[in-house]
A and B are shown apart, each in its own frame.
Chain A
Amino acid sequence: MSTTAANTIERPSALSRFFRGLGLLRESPIGMFGAALVLFWVTMAIIAPILPLLDPLAAIMPFQKIGAVAPDGTTFWLGTDDKGRDILSRVIWGSQRVLVWASLATVVAYFFGMLMGVAAGYLGGWWDEVISFIGNVLLSFPVMILYILIVSYLGASGINIVIAVTFASAPGIMRIVRGLILDLRTRDYIAAAQTRGEPAIRIMLVELLPNARGPLIVDACLRLGYTVVAIATLGFLGLGLPPPDPDWGLMIKEAVPLGSFAGHMMVIPALALSSLILGFNLLADGLREISLRD
């Protein structure tokens, strides 16, 4: 064994590096709190199918208060809504929906935003002019109007929300990426890649983009929060994910006309919503704090 020592060099596993990164977060209490909130909802979303929850769509008993017990012995931990559906199970199932669509929308927006940004930043010239122009046109629309226009034109569905979020977010992502790339492209390692004749596409995707990841991870966390807000807002306006599936925005909307008569119907999904958004924002803050400290 010892004779081959020179060739047995250990590669640190990806998993150990991931946990080391997570360990760094411990230095930011704010970030830890945010991560805990996000992790809570992600866990809820994942284990929703195996939790002993009532059917979120079944009308059981309307207007039950928090902690009410049905004659058959079922406890409504968070009460029921005007149609008699269990709010606890609707909130948990709703977290799954909002997280899936918000993540999907953010990922798609990032995909296009990064491609546009890296092309504009690295290729420059006409690419930059055209891409930046398109971006500026899209950014000049008020975001809400853009959402409403797209969703009401294409119809309310998950995919259309993804499209709307992409249109609204990609230009902003493009700008951030473009700025980062403009800085990174002057580095010597890019010159080294150019002088060994690497194709532009490889330089952009392999040499440049990974080095822009720091600020982008922070931005992605923030943007996930915004997307959750956007989905909830669209739901509230009746343009979100179609009923009867549980949706936090829609749940709030349904509670509004009832006013204080069924306060818990509004407060519980609102709390769920703000805790998730707060989680994303604090996590982003914590990540930024750590990245600045290095």
Chain B
Amino acid sequence: MSAGSRRLSFLGVGVAPVLIVSALVGSAAVGLADADGDSRRSGFDFMGPQTQAMQGDDTSNPGMLAVLEGEDIWNRKAGAADKSCADCHGDAARSMHGVAAHYPAFDTGTGGPINLDQRINTCREKNQEAEPFPWESAEILALSAYVGLQSRGMPVQVGDDARLAGAIKAGDEAFHRKQGQLDFSCADCHDANWDRKLGGSVIPQGHATGYPIYRLEWQSMGSLQRRLRNCMAGVRAEPYSYGSPEFVELELYLMSRSRGMAVETPAVRP
């Protein structure tokens, strides 16, 4: 008898704080909606003030080291054609202004969506006649960070291309599909439980507006696909391989979900 009543009283004590917490989370979400009623928040908002300051100052943001490297690659001749990016595209500040905000975008060559890394490598193979940079190599991350920087502060433009409607739908389905041994979908955390904690870290809403990012945990730059592989391994699912159509569709859906939010490349994340 005593064991049963102890358990009951424990439950009685335990339930009340849970209710308070969920009420707080609910009001926080409402309170943070901006004037347009948009409750979407960048991962930047969930970071501590020191990490925000690190991203905000270009001389303390380590992602800017990759941008410098990217600028160098932009101007360096490569491949059998002996051409640099600048030989065709000129000054990136003009020619690449706003470009990254449109990616992933429709590619006429493949008839489907490709992300910025794939666009850079396609251009590299076709026009420079050079070997494509390997996935997650310092070179491709640097170049996409440099191109991405030219769109910093501009609104994400992904999601209005009718040719990509099917791919966005596929990404949407992947986002809501339960997977892995833990049986979680992306939405289970990033839609249903954002602003709560997972293993001591805040769960953000999953707006991938700052990629490639400098992640403090990695102590290096990394792509969105690297981050997605992290999450998939976290729910004990088999991660898609780099560059797989599933990943590009998911990237495309995520960016269409962030449509209108500001590009932050190169962002810093914990």
Do A and B pair up? The answer is no
Residues of A within 8 A of B (CB): none
Residues of B within 8 A of A (CB): none
